[in-house]
Structure 1
């Protein structure tokens, strides 16, 4: 009897094991029209569960034996449903049709861009090409970074400045990636435009909190931009002509279904208008920028794909032969994707990045060129492992070799300035990371990870010991390749999400970040000539600990969404300049001009968004505070950081008036920047000298602006489409302050007059865009 019972138990156990046997479905999801892989496409399983594709369109999901129905969807494409019986590991590659193409008997449902309620990721904002296309911007130039700054927690650094402040962070605390390559200056024309041509962009993701462990090196945010791969089905040309710039995009297959290319170019021609002037003081000036994006990819087989992408951009400004300034970025990325099996995906990247600028001065007895650069060589290896339906694990390594040339001064024989070269600075940055996204239950999900970062300061060069007053006590010389100082930091990440019901959830996260590259400036606005410096034996890594809590709600059957997030950020080793410092002096010991302390930033962000329908848009509001406390500044008391703003509001609206007309508008308001104004003045030899007391105790005037836009669809056929885009920047002519300067009153020298300079009143524009 016992043996029979045992046999029955074994049979039941075996039957249950067979019934619970699991298999993995994997594959790649693409756009059928262009053959491009889709980032973040959704795979849903009837009855619950699902996954999304990674940055290269790959997905993997493990299910039990039996009948299943899968739904594949991506924004702007038709949803595809497939029913089948799963008996073994299966590869399902999907190509999704455009919404305008009929799929016959296949079930089609609408897709939306709504934020996931179940994933633990917080502080993530994504932009669609439609939103970038319709939001009115300066001179009609579609600009991804300018549109991003209309989202909560992301603040514009102001007119004429491409920098952005994210949750109290400075402009240099944002990691900007273009196909994984760091971009150190994302501005054209002194910040009026960004370096990113919208025609070359495939996907934009902004992480302003809870950054995954694969990202590191900056404190505040990650702006991850992926370029289009190029159409491997058919050749296409698109472009546009505006008031100050023109652009052209060419793409097509090298070998159909296997490989493709993309080349996008853009150039302004403001300098050409200057040459038409009869005024010799204008027609000899230089004012333009250009950029080129290029990409190729090739499928080596079913499991291997190779990508090569690059960017080159340059700005040139000049006043005759007297003064010239040029700066630019160069990036290149070589990537190899390999699928080991249906659960393991690999990406290997070799990355190059270079940013440099040159200042030319030819005035009287001064004839000199000043050159500076920052250059990176970067190796990254990442594996994505899908061990079960509940876990998605990433782990990898990253190694970067930095070279910073702080300044080379070359002169002519007649120049009164002596030639001089500051010592190059070398450093080696490494990271080892792992992260796991764990679906613990239908309601509870968690992402946890750890990043181990290492930053080694390397010779050759002189390094210094400095006292509290900035005086050099000792000079230490290191040979080439010698290790001066190594900083090790553990950077944990943790994020949780809990679904309250089918339409709402709560999320919480904690993340630690470190930063070893710092932008040094004591001007009121960012400049292409601001200096990048690496951590040294004196300049320590900046450290940030950010805590976030959020509530997320879908409203009215998912047509609207409400997001509320609050955060607190504790900052260590923050950098500011001494009173009266000049960080542009030609000196190796820049540390003598700097002070170090702590900071804090906290706030709450609201986003109310309408996603679908003829009328769409969003309302964002941020209430925040950002402060620093550094011994030697403001009597050692807490003071406002330069980027501190109490209120920040953006209203964005888009309306599909008809099949041909789309209208748009946005209104922006924010509190004026914290700034240091003179508290008094005195005379020395007939010259007025101003003196200053508290740091950043005053405010610039509040900023607000209304922009209007309209797009007219001229023709829209299968092989040809064209449109006219109209915009009016600063529609009611608000003269927002760019700078405020002080001078003695001409009537009474004892009185001081403040003068405000505004860049723009209202600027209309029109551009013509085409595609075939």
Structure 2
């Protein structure tokens, strides 16, 4: 009997144990891994559960998910260049952890620590994507001591500019307006201070810089060439800190810290440039020159719970540039002391909702405004010419981790565009006549889906599809032109008015995105990618380097959207435990409805800009090669780019042809570019950096002959962009002196000494001819920076 009861008890206990086991459900351990201090997400960090031998790595946003049963587990978090952490985590219904890793300052290779895994260039699916760490950017030699995000991009393969001090940059055969530049998701329509000498991004608040020039995710759209995604760092959560710097061009100051510890934090940083006094030290002809700017970047983060995070980012920047006497007004007015005044205002409000361990929702409201003004004070010719661009957007993105093999993303976006091309207001006693160009209004709607599929251990596929719809809204007066005549102001056959709220025309279509990665062996892969992009807003200019006051124009029935199709193939390899990496990419891109201007175009004041603009086809192709050293006392890279870009403006009407309808090089076509950057860091307190760059001269149009009309010599131009300015080359140098980061101090200081254009080479920005009534004189070269420019910058952090 006792034996029978004993067996029954054992059976009951076993049944209870089995029931207890059946109640164990699989949950997920999720969280974010960030860098302590800057709060930069760390991609490629390893999360390893020691008792179960299960682990994973973080994505580019520092997020990870590990499916696991409820219970208590020892977890180890590690990444190269950071101090590892081991902790015990209790996994229950919802477990979200936030870990800040501290940099290992005793590790000499800290200079090249990146927020990506060491072999990410081989393992990631997309190609043509480069991420720059702000620490590495700071060590590069800077012009006039100004650490410049955009200027650092020019050292990458596939990125160029038409000349020193030019606004914007060109990527793989695209014009400057074909780059979508985002600051925490807010687009900026002008990225330059002082007419192009410096960029608008304050290095003190930049977290990281990512340039998408080949593999562009379907979440991005609206531009035909590239996406420059700049993220503002997260505010400090533990304590308040202040920082700043003093330089020749500008001075900086910033503060960040917790308002409510670990709940509500803020950041604010500003740059101020007051350079007018420098011009008084130069020639008398420069007296009266104004050239200054200021900007302010703010960020506020509120995290009421682990599931909800609200962040707000704001930016304001303004420039004032004036020459004492000039002819740069460009509005056919006889005026001196022309002043350029332009400003950008942008803001983003973002809500991140952690739905569950496999779903994450981001919803953003975005606003961006750009305003430019040209003015002159002369009483007889006093005027003010104002133009504005407004961008309002709402978008939402849902990220879904389906399983170990599939990670999906879907999203919606709606944009409201408003463009005021130009409004001229004369002074009280001015001879100028007032005018206002018609405003433009349109909406851009988009939806996209993307899936990253891990087909096998050696193969991965990133497939996406975006659909965009562009709708023109009134009020406007639509001009219709005869197909039997060239499009000129006098050939419009009808004028049709539309009132506000009337959608009078639409464009739209699918934009497929595809990338395939195949691992050939350990540390080696080959990638293939294809992108289609549509662009509905355009910057039109008939100058080599567009001024900040150049005109923005929306697509309409007479100006079609530009469509770019790009195919690229790349080979990537790492060696010696990721100490070295090398890559080679080839691309071919076609451009439909490419935009250029008619000879003698007047774009700024034209109420019918389609009569001065031409649309045709374009093609760009090239080879990009990069060799990089990531570890050791010497680090850096060498890149070479072979790139060609051609436009074809052909029509059955000679008035609508360029170069007699034959293909011609674009203004930014530079066949050969070689860049090299090297940093020598023998200790944690000192680093030495060099940059060298060489490129083929850009195309120019020179006169083929001359004619005498009413005893005046007039140049004769035949074909566009058939000659080139001399080749460009320059060497830069800098030294950075820092305090030992291993020694904690309340005040951290550093000095940066740099020389721009070390051997004072007079690089030509343009070539022009001087005429007199008797003859053509020889060509003259204009250099922007024809000498060496030393600088000294002091930085401090409290």
CA distance in 1 between partners of 2:45 and 2:679 (Å): 26
Q: How does 1:307-456 map to 2 (within 5 A)?
A: 307-319=311-323, 322-363=337-378, 365-456=380-471
CA distance in 2 between partners of 1:113 and 1:705 (Å): 31
2:643 equivalent in structure 1: 624
CA distance in 1 between partners of 2:683 and 2:106 (Å): 21
2:103 equivalent in structure 1: 98
2:501 equivalent in structure 1: 481
2:58 equivalent in structure 1: 52
TM-score by length of 2: 0.89
Give the match's secondary structure for 2:204.
Answer: helix
Instruction: Select which of 566, 590, 601 maps to 2:609.
Output: 590
Tell me: CA distance 1:603–1:101, structure 2 relative to 1, closer, same or farther (3 Å): closer
- Is the contact between residue 365 and residue 393 of structure 2 (CA under 8 Å) also seen in structure 1? yes
CA distance in 1 between partners of 2:283 and 2:213 (Å): 49
2:686 equivalent in structure 1: 661
CA distance in 2 between partners of 1:351 and 1:147 (Å): 27
Return 5+ residue gaps in structure 1 as ranges: 1-13, 103-107
Instruction: Select which of 286, 289, 300 maps to 2:290.
Output: 286
Q: How does 1:172-321 map to 2 (within 5 A)?
A: 172-274=177-279, 282-319=286-323
Q: How does 1:713-752 map to 2 (within 5 A)?
A: 713-714=738-739, 717-718=743-744, 719-744=746-771, 749-752=774-777
Deviates more, 1:686-695 or 1:702-711: 686-695
In the alignment of these two chains, the number of paired residues is: 747
**Are positions 1:164 and 2:169 aligned together?**
yes
CA distance in 1 between partners of 2:240 and 2:359 (Å): 33
Tell me: CA distance 1:319–1:583, structure 2 relative to 1, closer, same or farther (3 Å): same
Shift of 1:556: 1.6
CA distance in 2 between partners of 1:48 and 1:217 (Å): 42
- Is the contact between residue 684 and residue 740 of structure 2 (CA under 8 Å) also seen in structure 1? no
Deviations 1:139-189 (A, max 9, x none): 010001111110111113320113111111111100000010000110001
CA distance in 2 between partners of 1:609 and 1:314 (Å): 37
Give the match's secondary structure for 1:316.
Answer: strand
**Are positions 1:551 and 2:571 aligned together?**
yes
Instruction: Select which of 641, 653, 658 maps to 2:666.
Output: 641
- Is the contact between residue 133 and residue 207 of structure 2 (CA under 8 Å) also seen in structure 1? no
Tell me: CA distance 1:161–1:400, structure 2 relative to 1, closer, same or farther (3 Å): same
Q: How does 1:501-512 map to 2 (within 5 A)?
A: 501-512=521-532
CA distance in 1 between partners of 2:287 and 2:775 (Å): 41
- Is the contact between residue 188 and residue 194 of structure 1 (CA under 8 Å) also seen in structure 2? yes
Return 5+ residue gaps in structure 2 as ranges: 1-17, 108-112, 325-335, 651-656
Shift of 1:283: 4.8
Shift of 1:440: 1.3
Instruction: Select which of 611, 616, 629 maps to 1:610.
Output: 629
Tell me: CA distance 1:415–1:494, structure 2 relative to 1, closer, same or farther (3 Å): same
CA distance in 2 between partners of 1:689 and 1:537 (Å): 37
- Is the contact between residue 79 and residue 110 of structure 1 (CA under 8 Å) also seen in structure 2? no
- Is the contact between residue 29 and residue 53 of structure 1 (CA under 8 Å) also seen in structure 2? no
Shift of 1:628: 1.0
- Is the contact between residue 118 and residue 443 of structure 1 (CA under 8 Å) also seen in structure 2? no
1:8 equivalent in structure 2: none
CA distance in 1 between partners of 2:727 and 2:393 (Å): 42
Shift of 1:469: 2.0
1:6 equivalent in structure 2: none
Give the match's secondary structure for 1:366.
Answer: coil
Shift of 1:580: 2.1
**Are positions 1:575 and 2:595 aligned together?**
yes
Give the match's secondary structure for 1:300.
Answer: coil
Shift of 1:724: 1.0
Deviations 1:22-55 (A, max 9, x none): 6433112233445x25153534568897343454
Instruction: Select which of 531, 535, 538 maps to 2:551.
Output: 531
- Is the contact between residue 715 and residue 723 of structure 1 (CA under 8 Å) also seen in structure 2? no
CA distance in 1 between partners of 2:777 and 2:178 (Å): 37
CA distance in 2 between partners of 1:756 and 1:562 (Å): 38
- Is the contact between residue 44 and residue 117 of structure 2 (CA under 8 Å) also seen in structure 1? no
CA distance in 1 between partners of 2:26 and 2:580 (Å): 38
Give the match's secondary structure for 1:272.
Answer: helix
1:766 equivalent in structure 2: 792
Give the match's secondary structure for 1:133.
Answer: helix
Deviations 1:682-706 (A, max 9, x none): 1112222112111111111110000
Deviations 1:269-298 (A, max 9, x none): 21133467895x655432101111011101
